[in-house]
């Protein structure tokens, strides 16, 4: 009997997003893709989707170019690419109109993404089935996804029945998305076996995070039950809260008698080194060290490992406030560990009260936030569930889909007290089409809709982030955040030991250009040389051709001008400083300066002497030339 083949998919996108906030830049993705191909062990690679394209915008990069760049080499090598798709929420945290969802599949197929992994944190088929149809119509493979968790609601029968509905609706593949890694191995094997017995042609892919430690055993059980593809990671971003490493899983399956591809270890080490270099470059400043650790505390609360970084940040933010409240009441303060255990216990307590949604984006955030606010409310002497935000209520009221479990009576009563109405119809109906609005807006702004309407899609999907990307604000904010993190790391003795003024300028204003000394001389920001003379303030605007400063040379005084409309962002030379040819005097960054209204031509001013007398030591050398140039400037 021939050995059963099991394929590997490298979840390169999720490796990063389960570790920190950002994903590599386009140029970094272009470097690592050929090396991943050379490893020879992957039939699939996760290239995009989820929040990755939104965070591209957040650091000022066009996500469409990044997706095309990363997918292209895999397409050429015959390796299938796949993306993460949040169903009703598409690529963001909140519901998306149907016309934007439908456009997404046309755009992503054109960009080189082969498979879309469609999931809904509520496992509501109404949020998944439309995407199955739209993806197939656009030429993509529709991989319908079941979010795996462990509860009284989420039984073997629950998942087997859900798979039947999705396959009947046209799903070509089924993914078991074990985002918290809490799926029990035997149960997962039973689910896969039941699907395969009835639908042997359906490809089943398993995705399991390593946080609580079940995923390696789960992979073996899934493979034995007939699973076809396993999601794996690689160092330095494997294990911890992320995914098992391909080396371990390959060795385990080969020993168990499965057919698996060899790993080119030279290429593995090169890809490992490149990935580490991206961490060292800038991505590591957003990676929480705790995400490199596994913890059995996740077994009970079921929270996904990928959100532990944000959870710890939230916990630190509210820790002091809770302790201040406890101190006022004369109660003992809590350590961070004590508060963490209380939070996990509270999540476990209220999760079934809130309808037992799968703890995956965005519902994991909603449940965690409700638990955290309950702890804070108690420290204030308030009732539970008094601080829930509108998004949380949207989930409770059915505006995101049907909850898997029943709401607790006290939650239903609280909704009635607030005058809220429950919604039971298809949630997509609450979000009307919007593309005509965005098309009109882009025409008004003079923005190109992009190849295959990809820029239109990004604008409609991530409006706020796209506007900030187009204006340059996103890059500016990202650079400031990066500088703050670098300085904090430097103070703590991590990664960076010293940040010079030039480093800061390069980080904050990477596209700035220097105004250079054309020859040796003395820098003069003001011609009247006295103790009050100084350079202008940062942010000063210059139109193309405007005077920036002077350079006093042995041949006279030479004006230096702006080569384009710019703003002053950094100064390397102060009044009276010496410069040699090629020295940077200051740095100007391109700026859009509104046109000035036309004014009547003014009469040419007559040359006049300087209002202030230069210092005696300087006066004799260049008094005459100063007055001539000042007169010309007038």
pLDDT of residue 528: 73
634 vs 202: CA distance, rounded Å: 80
175 vs 148: CA distance, rounded Å: 10
pLDDT of residue 604: 42
538 or 54: whose pLDDT is higher? 54
* Residues 27-54, mean pLDDT to the nearest whole number: 96
354 vs 364: CA distance, rounded Å: 11
pLDDT of residue 625: 42
pLDDT digits (tens, 9 = 90+) for 389-409: 888 999 999 999 999 999 999
The answer to whether residue 578 sits within a structural domain is yes
The answer to whether residue 549 sits within a structural domain is yes
pLDDT at 225 over 90: yes
The answer to whether residue 574 sits within a structural domain is yes
Query: What is the extent of the structural domain holding 596?
Result: 513-633
* Residues 55-80, mean pLDDT to the nearest whole number: 96
Question: 553 and 521 in contact (C-beta within 8 Å)?
Answer: yes
pTM of the model: 0.79
The answer to whether residue 605 sits within a structural domain is yes
pLDDT digits (tens, 9 = 90+) for 499-535: 566 777 777 777 889 999 999 999 999 887 666 667 8
Under 8 Å CB-to-CB from 534, ≥6 apart: which residues?
525, 526, 574, 575
pLDDT of residue 501: 67
The answer to whether residue 95 sits within a structural domain is no
Share of the chain above pLDDT 70, in %: 90
pLDDT at 251 over 60: yes
Q: Provide the number of structural domains found in the chain.
A: 1
pLDDT of residue 311: 73
pLDDT at 606 over 90: no
pLDDT at 74 over 50: yes
* Residues 304-324, mean pLDDT to the nearest whole number: 77
* Residues 122-139, mean pLDDT to the nearest whole number: 98
48 vs 11: CA distance, rounded Å: 9
| CATH number assigned to the domain comprising residue 579 | 2.40.50.100
The answer to whether residue 576 sits within a structural domain is yes
The answer to whether residue 550 sits within a structural domain is yes
Question: 249 and 27 in contact (C-beta within 8 Å)?
Answer: no
pLDDT at 154 over 50: yes
The pair of three-digit structure tokens given for residue 118, joined into one six-digit string: 């469609």
The answer to whether residue 417 sits within a structural domain is no
Confidence bin at 438 (pLDDT 50/70/90): very high
């Amino acid at each position: 009997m021939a050995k059963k083949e099991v394929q590997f998919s490298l979840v390169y996108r999720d490796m990063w997003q389960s570790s920190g906030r950002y994903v590599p830049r386009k140029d970094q993705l272009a470097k690592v893709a050929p090396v991943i191909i050379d490893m020879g062990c992957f039939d699939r690679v996760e290239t995009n989707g989820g929040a990755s394209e939104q965070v591209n915008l957040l650091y000022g990069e066009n996500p469409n170019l990044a997706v095309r760049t990363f997918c292209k080499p895999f397409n050429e090598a015959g390796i299938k690419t796949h993306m993460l798709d949040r169903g009703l929420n598409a690529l963001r945290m909140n519901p998306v109109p149907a016309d934007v969802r439908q456009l997404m599949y046309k755009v992503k197929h054109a960009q080189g993404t082969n498979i879309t992994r469609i999931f809904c944190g509520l496992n509501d088929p109404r949020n998944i089935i439309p995407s199955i149809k739209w993806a197939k119509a656009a030429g993509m493979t529709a991989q319908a996804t079941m979010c795996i968790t462990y509860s009284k609601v989420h039984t073997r029968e629950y998942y087997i029945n859900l798979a039947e509905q999705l396959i009947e609706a046209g799903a070509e593949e089924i993914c078991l998305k074990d985002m918290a890694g809490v799926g029990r191995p035997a149960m997962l094997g039973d689910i896969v076996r039941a699907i395969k017995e009835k639908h042997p042609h359906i490809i089943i892919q398993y995705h399991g995070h390593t946080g609580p430690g079940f995923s390696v055993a789960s992979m073996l059980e899934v493979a034995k039950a007939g699973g076809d593809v396993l999601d794996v990671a690689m160092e330095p971003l494997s294990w911890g809260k992320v995914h098992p490493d391909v080396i371990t899983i390959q060795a385990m399956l080969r020993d168990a008698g499965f057919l698996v591809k060899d790993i080119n270890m030279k290429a593995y080490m090169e890809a490992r080194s490149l990935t580490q270099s991206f961490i060292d470059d800038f991505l590591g400043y957003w990676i929480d060290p705790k995400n490199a650790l596994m913890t059995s505390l996740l077994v009970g609360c079921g929270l996904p490992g990928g959100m532990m970084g944000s959870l710890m940040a939230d916990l630190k933010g509210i820790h002091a406030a809770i302790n201040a409240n406890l101190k006022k009441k004369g109660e003992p303060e809590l350590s961070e560990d004590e508060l963490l255990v209380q939070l996990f216990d509270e999540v476990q307590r209220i999760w079934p009260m809130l309808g037992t949604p799968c703890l995956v984006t965005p519902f994991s955030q909603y449940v965690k936030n409700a638990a955290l606010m309950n702890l804070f409310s108690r420290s204030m002497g308030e009732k539970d569930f008094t601080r829930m935000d509108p998004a949380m209520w949207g989930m409770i009221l059915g505006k995101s889909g049907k909850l898997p479990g029943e709401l607790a009576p006290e939650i239903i009563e609280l909704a009635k007290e607030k005058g809220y109405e429950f919604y039971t119809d298809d949630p997509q109906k609450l979000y009307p089409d919007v593309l005509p609005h965005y098309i009109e807006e882009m025409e008004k702004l003079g923005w190109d809709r992009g190849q295959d309407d990809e820029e239109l899609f990004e604008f409609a999907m991530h409006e706020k982030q796209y506007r900030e990307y187009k204006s340059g604000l996103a890059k500016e904010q990202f650079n400031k955040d990066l500088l703050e993190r670098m300085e904090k790391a430097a103070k703590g003795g991590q990664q960076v030991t010293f940040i010079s003024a030039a480093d800061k300028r390069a980080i904050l204003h990477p596209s700035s250009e220097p105004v250079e000394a054309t020859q040796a001389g003395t820098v003069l920001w003001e011609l009247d040389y006295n103790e009050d003379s100084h350079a202008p303030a940062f942010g000063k605007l210059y139109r193309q051709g405007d005077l920036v400063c002077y350079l006093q040379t042995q041949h006279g005084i030479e004006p230096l001008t702006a080569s384009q409309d710019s703003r002053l962002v950094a100064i390397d030379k102060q009044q009276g400083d010496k410069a040699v040819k090629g020295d940077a005097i200051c740095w100007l960054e391109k700026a859009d300066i509104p046109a000035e209204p036309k004014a009547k031509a003014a009469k040419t001013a007559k040359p006049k002497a300087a209002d202030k007398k230069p210092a005696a030591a300087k006066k004799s050398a260049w008094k005459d030339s100063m007055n001539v140039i000042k007169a010309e400037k007038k």
